[in-house]
Amino acid sequence: MEGILSIQSAVAYGHVGNSAAVFPLQRLGFEAWPVNTVLFSNHTGYGAWRGHAVGVEEVREILKGVEERGAYPRTRAVVSGYLGDAALGEAVLDAVAAVRRVRPEALYACDPVMGDVGRGFFVKEGIPAFFKDHAVPAADIVTPNQFELAHLAGFEIFTLADALNAAAAVRAMGPGLVLCTSLMVEETGSGLGLLADTADGAWLVTTPHLPIDLSGTGDVCTALTLAYWLRFAAPAPMLEAVAGAMYGLVEATQAAGSRELLLVEAQDCLVEPRMPFGARRLR
Protein backbone atom coordinates (compact mmCIF):
# COMPACT_ATOMS: atom_id res chain seq x y z
CA MET A 1 0.00 0.00 0.00
CA GLU A 2 1.14 3.54 -0.75
CA GLY A 3 1.39 5.94 2.14
CA ILE A 4 2.26 9.31 3.61
CA LEU A 5 5.35 9.87 5.74
CA SER A 6 4.43 12.23 8.59
CA ILE A 7 7.33 13.73 10.59
CA GLN A 8 5.92 15.61 13.58
CA SER A 9 5.61 15.75 17.34
CA ALA A 10 3.30 13.41 19.23
CA VAL A 11 1.38 13.40 22.52
CA ALA A 12 -0.22 10.58 24.49
CA TYR A 13 -3.17 12.68 25.65
CA GLY A 14 -5.01 14.84 23.16
CA HIS A 15 -4.43 15.72 19.54
CA VAL A 16 -1.51 17.74 18.23
CA GLY A 17 1.24 16.91 15.74
CA ASN A 18 1.11 13.30 14.57
CA SER A 19 -1.52 12.64 17.21
CA ALA A 20 -3.73 15.05 15.23
CA ALA A 21 -2.61 14.36 11.65
CA VAL A 22 -2.36 10.57 11.35
CA PHE A 23 -5.99 9.66 12.12
CA PRO A 24 -7.51 12.05 9.53
CA LEU A 25 -5.09 10.73 6.90
CA GLN A 26 -6.10 7.16 7.74
CA ARG A 27 -9.83 7.93 7.74
CA LEU A 28 -9.44 9.47 4.29
CA GLY A 29 -7.94 6.24 3.03
CA PHE A 30 -4.20 6.84 3.23
CA GLU A 31 -1.66 4.66 4.98
CA ALA A 32 0.31 6.92 7.33
CA TRP A 33 3.82 6.30 8.61
CA PRO A 34 4.39 8.57 11.64
CA VAL A 35 7.90 9.48 12.73
CA ASN A 36 7.64 11.27 16.07
CA THR A 37 10.01 14.11 16.88
CA VAL A 38 8.63 14.78 20.37
CA LEU A 39 7.07 12.36 22.87
CA PHE A 40 5.05 14.33 25.41
CA SER A 41 2.23 13.38 27.73
CA ASN A 42 0.15 16.31 26.43
CA HIS A 43 0.57 19.56 24.55
CA THR A 44 2.35 22.43 26.26
CA GLY A 45 -0.74 24.64 26.39
CA TYR A 46 -1.64 22.96 29.68
CA GLY A 47 1.41 24.59 31.27
CA ALA A 48 2.74 21.25 32.53
CA TRP A 49 3.74 18.13 30.64
CA ARG A 50 6.08 15.17 30.82
CA GLY A 51 8.24 13.51 28.21
CA HIS A 52 11.08 14.55 25.97
CA ALA A 53 12.11 15.62 22.51
CA VAL A 54 13.52 12.88 20.30
CA GLY A 55 17.14 13.44 19.34
CA VAL A 56 17.88 14.34 15.74
CA GLU A 57 20.09 11.29 15.22
CA GLU A 58 17.36 9.02 16.58
CA VAL A 59 14.88 10.59 14.16
CA ARG A 60 17.34 9.96 11.33
CA GLU A 61 17.73 6.35 12.48
CA ILE A 62 13.98 5.80 12.47
CA LEU A 63 13.67 7.37 9.03
CA LYS A 64 16.45 5.11 7.79
CA GLY A 65 14.60 2.10 9.12
CA VAL A 66 11.42 3.16 7.33
CA GLU A 67 13.43 3.54 4.14
CA GLU A 68 14.94 0.07 4.63
CA ARG A 69 11.46 -1.43 4.80
CA GLY A 70 10.91 -0.23 1.24
CA ALA A 71 8.46 2.52 2.11
CA TYR A 72 10.05 5.37 0.16
CA PRO A 73 9.14 4.16 -3.36
CA ARG A 74 5.56 3.85 -2.08
CA THR A 75 5.48 7.31 -0.44
CA ARG A 76 2.98 9.63 -2.11
CA ALA A 77 3.88 12.54 0.13
CA VAL A 78 5.90 13.72 3.12
CA VAL A 79 4.31 16.09 5.63
CA SER A 80 6.04 18.01 8.41
CA GLY A 81 4.91 20.41 11.12
CA TYR A 82 6.52 21.95 14.20
CA LEU A 83 10.30 21.72 14.27
CA GLY A 84 12.23 21.84 17.53
CA ASP A 85 15.38 23.12 15.84
CA ALA A 86 16.89 23.66 12.42
CA ALA A 87 18.91 20.43 12.63
CA LEU A 88 15.66 18.49 12.76
CA GLY A 89 14.48 20.45 9.74
CA GLU A 90 17.55 19.31 7.83
CA ALA A 91 16.66 15.70 8.67
CA VAL A 92 13.16 16.29 7.26
CA LEU A 93 14.54 17.74 4.03
CA ASP A 94 17.01 14.88 3.72
CA ALA A 95 14.08 12.46 3.98
CA VAL A 96 12.17 14.40 1.34
CA ALA A 97 15.19 14.26 -0.98
CA ALA A 98 15.60 10.51 -0.37
CA VAL A 99 11.93 9.88 -1.17
CA ARG A 100 12.12 11.97 -4.34
CA ARG A 101 15.15 10.06 -5.57
CA VAL A 102 13.00 6.95 -5.89
CA ARG A 103 9.59 8.65 -6.25
CA PRO A 104 10.17 11.97 -8.09
CA GLU A 105 6.49 12.90 -8.12
CA ALA A 106 6.14 12.59 -4.33
CA LEU A 107 4.84 15.76 -2.71
CA TYR A 108 6.19 17.60 0.30
CA ALA A 109 3.62 19.42 2.44
CA CYS A 110 5.18 21.83 4.93
CA ASP A 111 3.36 23.54 7.76
CA PRO A 112 5.85 26.32 8.60
CA VAL A 113 5.01 26.58 12.28
CA MET A 114 6.63 29.74 13.63
CA GLY A 115 4.10 31.89 15.44
CA ASP A 116 0.69 33.49 15.32
CA VAL A 117 -1.06 36.86 15.34
CA GLY A 118 -1.03 38.26 18.87
CA ARG A 119 1.67 35.85 20.05
CA GLY A 120 4.49 36.59 17.65
CA PHE A 121 7.23 34.01 17.18
CA PHE A 122 7.29 31.07 19.60
CA VAL A 123 10.03 28.94 18.02
CA LYS A 124 13.77 28.86 18.50
CA GLU A 125 16.00 31.37 16.79
CA GLY A 126 16.96 30.10 13.36
CA ILE A 127 13.69 28.27 12.66
CA PRO A 128 12.00 31.17 10.78
CA ALA A 129 15.07 31.59 8.57
CA PHE A 130 15.21 27.83 7.97
CA PHE A 131 11.63 27.76 6.77
CA LYS A 132 12.05 30.79 4.53
CA ASP A 133 15.40 29.82 3.03
CA HIS A 134 15.16 26.03 2.87
CA ALA A 135 11.89 24.28 3.73
CA VAL A 136 9.42 26.46 1.83
CA PRO A 137 11.47 26.43 -1.42
CA ALA A 138 11.59 22.61 -1.20
CA ALA A 139 7.84 22.23 -0.58
CA ASP A 140 5.00 21.59 -3.01
CA ILE A 141 2.35 22.63 -0.48
CA VAL A 142 2.74 25.14 2.36
CA THR A 143 0.06 25.92 4.93
CA PRO A 144 1.05 29.06 6.87
CA ASN A 145 -1.34 31.01 9.05
CA GLN A 146 -1.68 34.74 8.44
CA PHE A 147 1.26 35.67 10.68
CA GLU A 148 3.52 33.08 9.07
CA LEU A 149 2.48 34.06 5.55
CA ALA A 150 3.32 37.69 6.30
CA HIS A 151 6.75 36.72 7.63
CA LEU A 152 7.54 34.55 4.63
CA ALA A 153 6.42 37.25 2.20
CA GLY A 154 8.21 40.04 4.05
CA PHE A 155 5.27 42.41 4.58
CA GLU A 156 2.19 42.72 6.80
CA ILE A 157 -1.28 41.60 5.75
CA PHE A 158 -4.26 43.86 6.37
CA THR A 159 -6.44 43.30 3.29
CA LEU A 160 -7.35 40.48 0.96
CA ALA A 161 -5.15 42.07 -1.69
CA ASP A 162 -2.24 41.95 0.75
CA ALA A 163 -2.92 38.26 1.38
CA LEU A 164 -3.06 37.50 -2.34
CA ASN A 165 0.21 39.34 -2.94
CA ALA A 166 1.84 37.54 -0.02
CA ALA A 167 0.65 34.14 -1.21
CA ALA A 168 1.93 34.86 -4.72
CA ALA A 169 5.30 35.93 -3.29
CA VAL A 170 5.60 32.71 -1.28
CA ARG A 171 4.49 30.62 -4.23
CA ALA A 172 7.25 32.24 -6.27
CA MET A 173 9.72 30.65 -3.83
CA GLY A 174 8.77 27.20 -5.12
CA PRO A 175 5.50 25.73 -3.77
CA GLY A 176 2.68 25.05 -6.20
CA LEU A 177 -0.01 25.52 -3.56
CA VAL A 178 -0.05 28.09 -0.77
CA LEU A 179 -2.93 27.67 1.65
CA CYS A 180 -3.29 30.42 4.25
CA THR A 181 -5.24 29.43 7.35
CA SER A 182 -6.96 31.64 9.93
CA LEU A 183 -7.10 34.64 7.61
CA MET A 184 -8.74 37.65 9.24
CA VAL A 185 -8.72 40.75 7.03
CA GLU A 186 -11.17 43.53 6.23
CA GLU A 187 -12.95 41.47 3.59
CA THR A 188 -13.58 38.44 5.83
CA GLY A 189 -15.43 40.61 8.37
CA SER A 190 -16.09 38.66 11.56
CA GLY A 191 -15.43 35.37 9.79
CA LEU A 192 -12.35 33.24 9.33
CA GLY A 193 -10.83 32.89 5.88
CA LEU A 194 -9.08 29.99 4.18
CA LEU A 195 -7.19 31.13 1.09
CA ALA A 196 -5.75 28.83 -1.58
CA ASP A 197 -3.37 30.27 -4.16
CA THR A 198 -2.03 28.37 -7.17
CA ALA A 199 -0.65 29.22 -10.59
CA ASP A 200 -4.15 28.59 -11.99
CA GLY A 201 -5.94 30.99 -9.67
CA ALA A 202 -6.84 31.85 -6.10
CA TRP A 203 -9.92 30.92 -4.07
CA LEU A 204 -11.31 31.98 -0.70
CA VAL A 205 -13.70 30.28 1.70
CA THR A 206 -14.99 32.20 4.72
CA THR A 207 -16.56 30.41 7.68
CA PRO A 208 -18.00 31.76 10.92
CA HIS A 209 -15.34 32.36 13.57
CA LEU A 210 -16.18 30.07 16.46
CA PRO A 211 -15.11 31.49 19.85
CA ILE A 212 -12.87 28.66 20.99
CA ASP A 213 -9.08 28.36 21.22
CA LEU A 214 -7.80 24.88 20.43
CA SER A 215 -4.41 23.28 19.87
CA GLY A 216 -3.85 20.99 16.91
CA THR A 217 -6.19 22.65 14.42
CA GLY A 218 -3.29 23.59 12.16
CA ASP A 219 -1.96 20.03 12.20
CA VAL A 220 -5.34 18.63 11.22
CA CYS A 221 -5.83 21.31 8.57
CA THR A 222 -2.48 20.52 6.93
CA ALA A 223 -3.27 16.79 6.90
CA LEU A 224 -6.69 17.44 5.37
CA THR A 225 -5.22 19.82 2.79
CA LEU A 226 -2.74 17.19 1.66
CA ALA A 227 -5.31 14.38 1.64
CA TYR A 228 -7.94 16.33 -0.28
CA TRP A 229 -5.34 17.70 -2.68
CA LEU A 230 -4.28 14.13 -3.45
CA ARG A 231 -7.94 13.22 -3.93
CA PHE A 232 -9.13 16.15 -6.06
CA ALA A 233 -5.94 17.70 -7.52
CA ALA A 234 -8.02 20.88 -7.86
CA PRO A 235 -8.02 23.92 -5.53
CA ALA A 236 -11.73 24.76 -5.24
CA PRO A 237 -13.13 21.33 -4.21
CA MET A 238 -10.09 20.77 -1.98
CA LEU A 239 -10.65 24.10 -0.25
CA GLU A 240 -14.37 23.52 0.25
CA ALA A 241 -13.76 20.06 1.69
CA VAL A 242 -11.08 21.28 4.08
CA ALA A 243 -13.19 24.23 5.24
CA GLY A 244 -16.26 22.05 5.77
CA ALA A 245 -14.32 19.38 7.63
CA MET A 246 -12.50 21.84 9.88
CA TYR A 247 -15.64 23.81 10.70
CA GLY A 248 -17.53 20.62 11.53
CA LEU A 249 -14.71 19.38 13.75
CA VAL A 250 -14.32 22.64 15.67
CA GLU A 251 -18.09 23.09 15.95
CA ALA A 252 -18.49 19.62 17.46
CA THR A 253 -15.60 20.23 19.85
CA GLN A 254 -17.07 23.53 20.99
CA ALA A 255 -20.54 22.03 21.47
CA ALA A 256 -19.06 19.33 23.72
CA GLY A 257 -17.12 21.86 25.78
CA SER A 258 -13.91 19.92 25.13
CA ARG A 259 -10.41 21.34 25.38
CA GLU A 260 -9.15 18.71 22.95
CA LEU A 261 -10.29 18.22 19.36
CA LEU A 262 -12.94 15.51 19.14
CA LEU A 263 -11.27 13.73 16.24
CA VAL A 264 -12.80 10.34 16.99
CA GLU A 265 -16.29 11.51 17.89
CA ALA A 266 -16.50 13.90 14.92
CA GLN A 267 -14.67 11.73 12.42
CA ASP A 268 -17.60 11.54 10.00
CA CYS A 269 -17.25 15.24 9.22
CA LEU A 270 -13.65 14.64 8.14
CA VAL A 271 -14.66 11.99 5.61
CA GLU A 272 -17.94 13.49 4.42
CA PRO A 273 -17.76 17.16 5.34
CA ARG A 274 -20.81 19.32 5.08
CA MET A 275 -19.88 21.95 2.52
CA PRO A 276 -22.14 24.95 3.04
CA PHE A 277 -19.19 27.25 2.42
CA GLY A 278 -18.55 27.73 -1.28
CA ALA A 279 -15.12 28.68 -2.61
CA ARG A 280 -15.09 32.12 -4.25
CA ARG A 281 -12.63 32.61 -7.08
CA LEU A 282 -10.53 35.74 -6.61
CA ARG A 283 -8.41 35.66 -9.76
What domains sit in the chain, N to C, each tagged with a CATH number? 3-281 (3.40.1190.20)
**Residue 121 pLDDT:** 79
Residue 151 identity (one-letter amino acid): H
Residue 147's pLDDT is 95
Phi, psi of 176 (to 5 degrees): -85, -25
Residue-wise pLDDT tens digits, 7-60: 999 999 999 999 999 999 999 999 999 999 999 999 998 999 999 999 999 999
pLDDT at 100: 98
What pLDDT, on the 0 to 100 scale, is given for residue 85?
Answer: 86
* pLDDT at 118 (0 to 100): 76
> Where does the chain have alpha helices with state H?
18-27, 56-68, 86-102, 127-130, 136-138, 146-153, 160-171, 217-232, 235-256, 267-271
Strands 31-40 and 51-53, by their bridges, are: antiparallel
Distance of alpha carbon 113 from alpha carbon 208, whole angstroms: 24
Q: C-alpha distances in angstroms, 38 versus 10, 143, 186, 260?
A: 6, 21, 38, 18
Q: What span, in angstroms and rounded, lies between the C-alpha atoms of 71 and 139?
A: 20
Q: What is the pLDDT of residue 84?
A: 82
Rounded-to-integer distance, Cα 194 and Cα 202, Å? 11
pLDDT at 237 over 90: yes
CA–CA distance, 87 with 92 (Å, rounded to integer): 9
Note the pLDDT of residue 168: 98
Task: Please report, in angstroms and rounded to a whole number, the separation of the first and last CA atoms in the chain.
Answer: 38
User: For 107-158, how does the pLDDT look when each residue is reduced to its tens digit (9 = 90+)?
Assistant: 999 999 998 877 877 888 899 999 999 999 999 999 999 999 999 999 999 9
Computed over every residue of the chain, the mean pLDDT equals 95
Nearest of 51, 55, 31 to residue 43 by alpha carbon: 51
pLDDT higher than 80, residue 277: yes
pLDDT tens digits along 191-222: 999 999 999 999 999 999 999 999 999 999 99
Q: Pick 236 or 83 by higher pLDDT.
A: 236
In whole angstroms, give the CA distance from residue 267 to residue 46: 24
Q: Which residues have a Cβ under 8 Å from the Cβ of 39 and sit 6 or more positions away? A: 10, 12, 51, 52, 53, 54
What's the predicted TM-score (pTM) here? 0.96
Check residue 135 and report its DSSP letter: I
